[in-house]
Amino acid sequence: MEVSVEQLVYVREDEYTVARMSAEDAPGFVAAGRVLAGVQPGETLRLTGDWEDHPRHGRRMTVTACERVAPSTVRAIRVYLGSGLIRGIGPRLAHAIVSHFGESSLTVIDTEPDRLREVVNIGPVRQAQIVEAWAEQKAVAALMVVLQGFGVSPLLAAKVYQTFGAESADILTRDPYRLIGRVRGIAFTTADKIALRSGVPERSPQRVQAAIIDRLEAAAAGSGHCFLPLPTLLAQAADLLGQDDELVRQMVDALAAERRVVVEASLTDARQTAVYAKEQHAREVRLAANLARLHHARSTLPMRPFQEDPGLNDDQRAAVTTALTSTVSVLTGGPGCGKSHTVRVIAATVRAMGGSVTLTAPTGKAAKRLSELTGLPATTIHRMLAHQPDPDSGTLFEQTPAQADLIVVDEASMLDLHLATRLTSALTPGSHLLLVGDGDQLPSIGPGSVLADLLRVEEIPRVRLTHVFRQAGGSAIIRAAHRVRAGEVPALPGGGGFWFEELDDPEQVAKRVVHLATEAIPRKQNVPADQVQVLCPMRKGAAGTAAIGRVLQERLNPAGEGKAEHWSGDTVFRVGDRVMPIRNNYDKGVFNGETGTITAIDVAERLVEIHIDDGGPVTYGFDRLDELTHAYAISVHRSQGSEYPIVVAPLVAEYGGVMLQRRLLYTLVTRARSWVVLVGSRDALELAVHRLGHRRNTTLAPRLSLMLRASS
């Protein structure tokens, strides 16, 4: 049966797809099945399947086989061209093309593209755009067939083409391991499936080395490790490959000889051998060297007498003195201990002495919050470094911003190895670097544990604020946060800003969280639903960000007549959706953790327009939507640096011991300004309070200590 795809109705994470179809003898019906994965509105398909009566969709086809075919009728061609599949052609232009060329329209585009100029409103630029998009669409369709032949999701085809272009098909068959780390969604397992079916021997050096690199990259991306102990790496890679440790050890040595990995005696345990990916080792060494250089530099801060603020306590006065006399220092402490006020005093003192100050933070929200709390302008680290060289790329810029006498970095727990290296590489020796943060919060999303590592270096001056001021001490949120940090369960069920609601079943927990976030809390607190943020310890599961986020989207921004939407894989983006970039994009000036609202979806140009909070409009192509995630329910990690009026969060045992740990719960609780409501089991709460979690594998602290002692 030959049909046209009219609309995607639903796509599950396992690629099970429900779509509305039309055919000459069936003007409108629903088809469903995993074999429909990757189909797009406008495509023509040849389907085989069984009919059934569905309680919601009525007459529905369960599809058992799906083949993409070229549309042959005038109507099907018009639908295909007007669907947005070919960038540069919208419904009006599709009508004009088909009216002019009829059933030959696709043949003209494919073999006689110059004739497109016969159509009104198609000039040389538009024609070139259409030809390029047509070639891309054909290539992606061919890649989908290749991937399906390897038993791999066809949804990855567009991402592969986006990365490798015309080389995509050749790389898939000749060197699929190149896909790892380059194409989002392709790790070793997927690339290995393609390679083995292409005839790559199981013990080939290419395969074993790819597994080793994959394990190092997975350790960095998943657990934040900068290195893996050699025995751990050997065991993980051998298990992934189904091979023996000795073969893996030989390939580790080969990679070390090629300088693709670094093998060295661990600085934390002389009996241990550490294996780093080359980039992680280079960054850690560079960061330690940068900090040592800044630490030993002679201060350029003009020291003049200043009036001490009489409202400071002893620890705060010590923090002011430390920041003024040390070129690298750390100010840490929990919520309500006066970090922001201390920073304001330090900045005012430096200015009174004739010095310059830059206040900065890793994310836009954190920078805005810093500015609000101190009354001084603040910027993101990324924007401060916009014209600085990236040490990883070696790129040099003609313009470098003036260096301040004091650079304050707030929310320093969010600094990963890469950003910290960029920051310290850009600073002029003699400037004062003050890192401000809460050492008990979660570490960065990226690899490394910069703030925690610096707090373990005795030579780096630091002040910890411990006094909770009376005004802050009256907050139930702050009281709960300090109890969690001390390893104590907060008073339950709570009240006055902190509340725990006990439920055990994860599905019931998820339903309750949705009800609280969309109905109960907005009604009781008389606030709009966008003042309530759902935070989840993990993505997967009935009470994870993916499942809860989908339900919240349907409640808060459902599909509607005339409301533009676009499916990207198993995710639908609609006008009005709240979204968050999950990658830094320096060209667009948007950064991981910022939030915004989708304001328009241009099907013809295949673009999504977003208005970034505290920013402006930016656009993402349909092929870049994997850089976005919905912000209805987000992970606790992605909430770092942000503060929300009201937070609702599920805590369930299915998260297991990995995610339920003290730093995560402490970070979660401290994200709320007025109320935090936890829903889940008491066992999960107690596990989160008492479990310390793993320490990341880094050697920044001992490496920096050695450098400081050697040069002192």
Peptide bond into 493 cis (omega under 30): yes
Gap between the Cα atoms of 21 and 61, Å rounded: 10
Secondary structure (H, E, C), 205-268: HHHHHHHHHHHHHHHHHHHCCCCEEHHHHHHHHHHHHCCCHHHHHHHHHHHHHCCCEEEEECCC
Rounded Cα–Cα distance for residues 437 and 404 (Å): 20
Q: Report d(CA 692, CA 666) in Å as an integer.
A: 11
Task: Please name which of 610, 568, 607 lies closest in space to residue 87, comparing C-alpha atoms.
Answer: 607
536 annotated ligand binder:
no
Establish whether 66 is an annotated binding residue.
no
Find out whether 267 and 699 touch, Cβ atoms under 8 Å. Answer: yes
Pick the closest to residue 35 from 8, 13, 17 (CA basis): 17
Q: Which residue has the tokens 């800003």?
A: 497
Q: Is 208 exposed, middle or buried (0-12, 13-18, 19+ CB in 10 A)?
A: buried
Check the annotation: does 336 bind a ligand.
yes
In angstroms, the CA 487 to CA 688 distance is 9
The strand pairing partners of 578, in sequence order, are 597
Other beta carbons within 10 angstroms of residue 307's beta carbon come to 8
Distances (CA, A) of 41 to 20, 134, 203, 623: 9, 16, 43, 16
Smallest CA-to-CA distance from 594 within 608, 584, 605, 603 is with 584
Tally DSSP H helices, then E strands, for the chain: 26, 26
What is the spatial distance between Cα 670 and Cα 484, in angstroms, rounded to a whole number? 10
Helix axes 339-352, 314-325, angle to 10 degrees: 50
Q: Which among 355, 362, 286, 364 has a CA at the least distance from the CA of 327? A: 355
Please tell me what DSSP assigns to residue 684. H
Rg of the chain over all Cα atoms, to the nearest angstrom = 28
DSSP classification of residue 543: T
State both tokens at 297. Answer: 């530099």
Is 340 annotated to bind a ligand? Reply is yes
Q: Say if residues 360 and 403 touch (Cβ distance below 8 Å).
A: no
Q: Which residues pair with 437 in a beta bridge?
A: 332
CB-based contact 415:391 (threshold 8 Å): no
Provide CB contacts within 8 A for 87, sequence distance 6+.
129, 130, 132, 133, 136, 604, 605, 606
DSSP assignments along 422-436, one per residue: HHHHHSPBTBEEEEE
Asked if 363 and 412 count as a contact pair (C-beta separation under 8 A), the reply is: no
CA nearest 324: which of 338, 345, 340, 310? 345
- Tokens representing residue 104 in the block: 């030959």
Q: Which two tokens stand for residue 51?
A: 């009919």
Give the closest residue to 403 by CA, choosing from 384, 367, 427, 425: 427
Whether 662 contacts 693, CB under 8 Å:
yes
| Residue in 591, 552, 547, 589 with CA at minimum distance from that of residue 574 | 552
Cα–Cα dist 410/436, whole Å: 5
From residue 441, alpha-carbon distances to 447, 636, 665 in Å are 15, 11, 9
- Is 266 within any annotated ligand binding site? no
Q: Which two tokens stand for residue 181?
A: 């780390």
Residue recorded with tokens 């911003």: 401
Q: Which residues are known binding-site members?
A: 336-340
Q: Which residues are known binding-site members for ATP?
A: 336-340
